[in-house]
Amino acid sequence: MKYEQLAKDILANVGGKENVSSVVHCVTRLRFKLKDESKANTEVLKNMDGVVTVMKSGGQYQVVIGNHVPDVYATVLQVGNLGAVSENGDSSSDENIGLGAKFIDMISGVFTPILGVLAATGMIKGLAALVLALGWVEATSGTYQLLNIAGDGLFNFLPIFLGYTAMKKFGGTPFVGMAIAAALVHPTLATLTTGETSKVLFQGTIFESPIHITFFGIPVIMMSYASSVIPIILASFVASKVEKGLKKIIPDVVKTFLVPFCTIAIMVPLTFLAIGPISTWAGSLLGAATIWIYELSPLVAGLILGGFWQVFVIFGLHWGLVPIAMNNLTTMGNDPVLATTVMVCFAQIGAVLAIMLKTKDKALKSLSVPAFISGIFGVTEPAIYGITLPLKKPFIMSCIGGGVGGAIIGATAGKLWMFGGMGVFVLPAFIQPGSGLDLTFWGSVIAMIVGFAVAFVLTYLFGGINQEKSSNETNDIITASKEVAATKVQNEEVVSPLNGEVIALSEVKDAAFSSGALGHGVAIEPSEGKLVAPVAGTVSALFPTKHAIGITTDAGADLLIHIGMDTVQLEGKFFTAHVSQGDYVKAGQLLIEFDMEQIKEAGKPLTTPIVVTNYKEFNLQLTDVKQVKLGAPLFTLDSK
């Protein structure tokens, strides 16, 4: 329960567990589907310790955590009792998102649960290819054979795994999906294509199919579904609808076995007769189309995909290329499309290294180290959201480096021969089994080095890092004075930053504040649109929408003042800030002016909480008055 408080705070700020339709996680993100996204406190989440940032994409509310997201996810499920919710597919909010967002949400929901083990088995297969290419083992050796089997196992029986995740995503029974998929990869199917051909369908076309067996007189087009993707996803979608229909008409007393019996009995023949062949042909056409477009100019394709890949990642759009890559691996044995993007992470860490070496900001330098290490292994969200994107220019330079690397891979005809790992672990995936270390492999190595170097040099020279107004000495002085204050200052007085009526925090109509999840303190119903500093200190946070401000007092207390409820949705309208983040302010100094009438007309309550977020370090003595004026005592703080 190391992340218990973080999990509680996240749930409180996504609108409470009752607002969660489902939640899954990928490599770095918690992916929520919320019933009402307007109930989420996005700005609070973005500034929460333990949260990198928040993204809204593909119908999902994505809370970026970092490398330890599996542990946070498990804790969120536990403290929120969300196990049952996350196990069931849901479409409760599907009507609120577009077709493109639905597609991205579907793909991520199907592939995310197996992404880790898919990468792991790909790495094992890549290891087998590497040791064979280096001449360490023979292709006939038991060592190579077992490594290859370990790597091939999941990919060969991929439909069974996707049958589980797809049925779960579509709201059906996962084991029914697995049963349908198991039929598609049954070993007996190989022998059914060797018998006598009774007829040939679509003769003379690209869909020509010899018929070896029939089902109640209906010809069955036999195909290999090992490693396939599209057939089982479509079959699972239809099966989930069939299963739901059967549950409505079959009596409860026999539902347990009769619903799966009827679903499997209907879906297996239907998949072999129609869904399987049609989706396989569609997959082949999709693969041929993407390769045709790619081969118009592999260099340009690599430049575009590599250059924009990080932008795709930010918005979750990269999931759109995953099924294309998986389909290409199935139908052609390799994929050149995704190959152009897998080295982009090195351009990102090239920019991070430049920042780390050049910046004088100690906090930024310390953030750069773990972001750099994560990027080596392909996890770039900490680098993107924590460092390069906020600085803007370094992110652009990393995109340029990624584009150059992608162009090199395209120019050298680089291909992924397996779904491998990320970062340095993806290199073996460029080795064609049995072909050794050819130009396509060395092209990927060159792309990795050049992309890294381009991003590093451009960021170091033109990334604007030298324009950062780092105040190392000033920060050291402020830190030292805080340490002294924290040991000597007692009864630090926090005065009222507003004119108005004092109300208990528990009466605030926002669970994040009323529950105390964001801190302890009071709230004020303002009677005038002026907010002044309640204490001397440093403006530690000023939200872009200017509806909230954070102040760190000289005694080390962190104050958060949030003007109104849901006012983040006003996007800064009706608010005027008179200070900037990093400014040192005195008690009574004007911080923000806000138009009360306009905010009320927009339907937003003006209740303003004033809380101490690190309240565990202090004893709070709250005022008992009901009406306060600017500068009147509000509460006092004693260091514990």
Which are the catalytic amino acids? 26, 562
> What is the rounded CA–CA span in Å between residue 387 and residue 349?
10
> What is the rounded CA–CA span in Å between residue 460 and residue 478?
29
DSSP 3-state assignment of 20? Answer: strand
DSSP 3-state assignment of 613? Answer: coil
Q: How many CB atoms lie within 10 A of CB 414?
A: 26
DSSP 3-state assignment of 299? Answer: helix
Residue 107: both structure tokens together: 């793909």
Q: What's the helix, strand, coil split of the chain in %, to 5? A: 55, 15, 30
Q: How many CB atoms lie within 10 A of CB 83?
A: 9
Residue 441: both structure tokens together: 């492999």
At what angle are helices 99-133 and 158-170 packed, to 10 degrees? 160
> What is the rounded CA–CA span in Å between residue 245 and residue 37?
31
The torsion angles phi and psi of 317, rounded to 5 degrees, stand at: -80, -10
Q: How many CB atoms lie within 10 A of CB 19?
A: 18
Q: Which residue has the tokens 């250059």?
A: 307
At what angle are helices 322-332 and 276-296 packed, to 10 degrees? 100
Q: How many CB atoms lie within 10 A of CB 484?
A: 12
Contact 546, 572 (CB under 8 A): yes
Q: Which residue has the tokens 């990869």?
A: 185
- Cβ neighbours for 135, distance < 8 A, ≥ 6 positions apart: none
Residue 228: both structure tokens together: 């396939």
Sheet holding 633-639, edge to edge: 492-495, 633-639, 618-622
Pure H helices in 377-499:
381-383, 389-391, 393-411, 439-462, 472-488
> What is the rounded CA–CA span in Å between residue 171 and residue 231?
18
E strand map for 481-614: 492-495, 500-504, 520-526, 530-532, 537-542, 548-553, 558-562, 575-577, 584-585, 590-594, 608-612
Instruction: Using alpha carbons, select from 621, 616, 618 the residue that is nearest to residue 636.
Output: 621
At what angle are helices 344-358 and 298-315 packed, to 10 degrees? 70
